[in-house]
């Protein structure tokens, strides 16, 4: 199962993204980034498991702008 | 003290709201979204849930459209100063509060004041239509006058705005929680709310729901987002929430909305009946009213004067006899100009669901006996 660490612009969008992924049956939670490299974002990430395209599509269709996504197999 | 000054702030708060504030002070006292620890995350989730509840109640586009502010005046400033430019024209009503008039004056914005008919909404709508010109970018009006209680036909004004491609902003300080306000159905782009009034939350909490664009900020600072950048983030809601938010008040919004939602179909009727009781009970007395609450299209706010007394004298005497009402211009001189009371002001009576008919009867007796009180000067 692929795991994706998704940076978004704010804690508001992080929670929104988590909730809408969960509504679609996708396992998702938010956590604080431990490896901050100074890029844009709120310091929180959505961690989601499943198909990357499905996850990014669901987020973008609901107006959740993805700043960065790292996928781990 | 019998409190009839609920248009300024609701004097009594539901137990559920008080409990929510207490709970937040005990268990959510951390800065939401700023830190990674658990209390901060819990606080952030509480703020998010409040945004969801507000968005759902007023039928907006989602929690990200809900901005928490210190008060309704600041919400209005965010809209007017955030979206209007030097060459823009705006249409307002002739019942606006200084929260609208003063920002427009300070910005030197070209505005046209559409007259509100106190009897016929069709005349009001015609006046709004006539006031629109080719430079009109926005219509901004009160949901209901804080002086006269007159509610504006928001759905029809929203339809006019939609037909003309104009943004529509509403000052719902007196309307939210009392009137049924549906942003999508009414085509409202900006809704400004005083949560401490009709939503029964603590003072120090306003709300802006922005479905339309906000281009500029008037306050910049830490948002907990994009911190490496000195440029203010341009994404709502954090764009307009620099600095620490009023979490205990925000955490009570859900309880306030639940309180109102349970009584959604009866608050307006119940409170308006108290206003009618006062009006009808003082017919033939020394008390002069400026509107007739027996007409439709009013929220529970009414103004009056007592012949031979200034409005301040009346509220002073009432206060000494155990009644809290507000005198003066109520920060809305345009509404007073409309009824010719800009010199003397008026006494404002505004009940809440926590008032009852016996209390109104006591006020009627006081006012009927007013000739027995000595003037101060």
User: Could you count the other beta carbons within 10 Å of the beta carbon of residue B257?
Assistant: 23
Question: Whole-prediction pTM value?
Answer: 0.95
Quick one: pLDDT band at residue B374, thresholds 50, 70, 90? low
- A24-35 residue pLDDT tens: 999 999 988 766
Q: Which of A11, A14, A38, A41 is most worth mutating to test chain B (most B CB atoms within 10 A of its CB)?
A: A11
Supply the ipTM of this predicted assembly.
0.85
DSSP B370: G
In chain B the domains, ranked by start, together with CATH numbers, are: 2-10+264-372 (3.90.1150.10), 15-262 (3.40.640.10)
- Find tokens 């709004």 and name the residue: B128
Angstrom distance (rounded) from CA B50 to CA B53: 5
Quick one: pLDDT band at residue A1, thresholds 50, 70, 90? confident
Closest CA to A31 of A1, A62, A3: A3
Pairing of strands B190-194, B167-171: parallel
Angstrom distance (rounded) from CA A49 to CA A52: 8
Chain B residue nearest residue A31, CA to CA? B36
- B99 phi and psi angles, rounded to 5 deg: -60, -20
Rg (CA), chain B: 21
Q: Which of B43, B224, B225, B232 is most worth mutating to test chain A (most A CB atoms within 10 A of its CB)?
A: B225
Q: What is the span of the domain harbouring residue A57?
A: 3-72
User: Could you count the other beta carbons within 10 Å of the beta carbon of residue A25?
Assistant: 8
Are B128 and B160 a contacting pair, CB within 8 Å?
A: yes
Residue B225: which of A9, A32, A62 has the nearest Cβ?
A: A9
Please count the structural domains in chain A: 1
| Length of chain B measured in residues | 377
Pairing of strands B66-69, B206-210: antiparallel
Cα angle, residue B210 at apex, residues B39 and B91 outer, rounded to 5°: 150
Residue numbers of A between 19 and 58 with CB closer than 8 Å to B: 30, 32, 38-44
* Summary mean pLDDT of chain B: 95
Quick one: pLDDT band at residue B38, thresholds 50, 70, 90? confident
A17: domain CATH number is 3.30.70
Average pLDDT for residues B172-199, to the nearest whole number? 98
Are B189 and B2 a contacting pair, CB within 8 Å?
A: no
- B321-359 residue pLDDT tens: 999 999 999 999 999 999 999 999 999 999 999 999 999
Are B299 and B149 a contacting pair, CB within 8 Å?
A: yes
Please give the biggest Cα pair distance in chain B. 69
């Amino acid at each position: 199962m692929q795991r994706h660490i998704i940076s978004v612009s704010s804690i508001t969008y992080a929670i929104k993204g988590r909730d809408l992924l969960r509504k679609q049956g996708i396992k998702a939670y938010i956590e604080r980034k431990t490896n901050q490299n100074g890029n844009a974002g709120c310091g929180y990430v959505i961690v989601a498991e499943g198909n990357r395209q499905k996850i990014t599509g669901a987020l973008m269709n609901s107006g959740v702008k993805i700043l960065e996504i790292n996928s781990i197999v | 003290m019998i409190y009839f000054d609920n248009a300024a702030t609701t004097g009594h708060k539901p137990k559920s709201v008080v409990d929510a504030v207490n709970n937040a002070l005990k268990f959510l006292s951390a800065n939401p979204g700023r830190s990674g620890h658990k209390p901060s995350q819990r606080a952030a989730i509480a703020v998010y849930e409040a945004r969801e509840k507000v968005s759902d109640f007023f039928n907006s586009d989602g929690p990200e459209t809900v901005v928490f502010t210190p008060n309704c005046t600041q919400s209005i400033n965010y809209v007017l100063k955030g979206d209007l430019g030097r060459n823009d024209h705006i249409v307002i009503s002739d019942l606006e509060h200084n929260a609208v008039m003063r920002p427009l004056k300070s910005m030197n914005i070209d505005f046209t004041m559409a007259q509100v008919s106190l009897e016929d909404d069709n005349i009001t709508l015609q006046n709004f239509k006539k006031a629109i010109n080719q430079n009109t970018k926005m219509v901004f009006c009160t949901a209901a006058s804080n002086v006269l209680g007159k509610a504006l036909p928001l759905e029809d004004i929203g339809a006019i705005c939609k037909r003309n491609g104009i943004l529509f902003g509403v000052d719902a300080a007196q309307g939210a929680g009392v009137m049924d306000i549906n942003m999508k159905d009414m085509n409202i782009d900006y809704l400004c709310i005083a949560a401490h009034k009709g939503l029964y939350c603590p003072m120090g909490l306003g709300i802006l729901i922005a479905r339309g664009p906000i281009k500029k900020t008037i306050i910049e600072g830490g948002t907990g987002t994009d911190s490496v950048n000195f440029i203010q983030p341009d994404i709502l809601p954090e764009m307009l929430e620099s600095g620490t938010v009023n979490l205990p008040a925000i955490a009570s919004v859900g309880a306030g909305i639940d309180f109102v939602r349970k009584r959604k179909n009866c608050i307006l009727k119940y409170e308006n009946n108290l206003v009618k009781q006062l009006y009808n009970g003082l017919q033939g007395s020394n008390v002069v009213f400026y509107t007739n609450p027996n007409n439709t299209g009013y929220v529970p706010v009414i103004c009056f004067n007592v012949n031979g007394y200034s409005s301040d004298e009346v509220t002073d005497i009432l206060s000494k006899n155990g009644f809290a009402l507000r005198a003066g211009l109520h920060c809305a001189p345009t509404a007073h100009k409309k009824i010719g009371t800009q010199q003397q002001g008026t006494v404002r009576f505004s009940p809440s669901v926590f008032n009852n008919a016996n209390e109104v009867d006591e006020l009627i007796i006081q006012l009927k006996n007013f000739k027995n009180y000595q003037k101060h000067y």
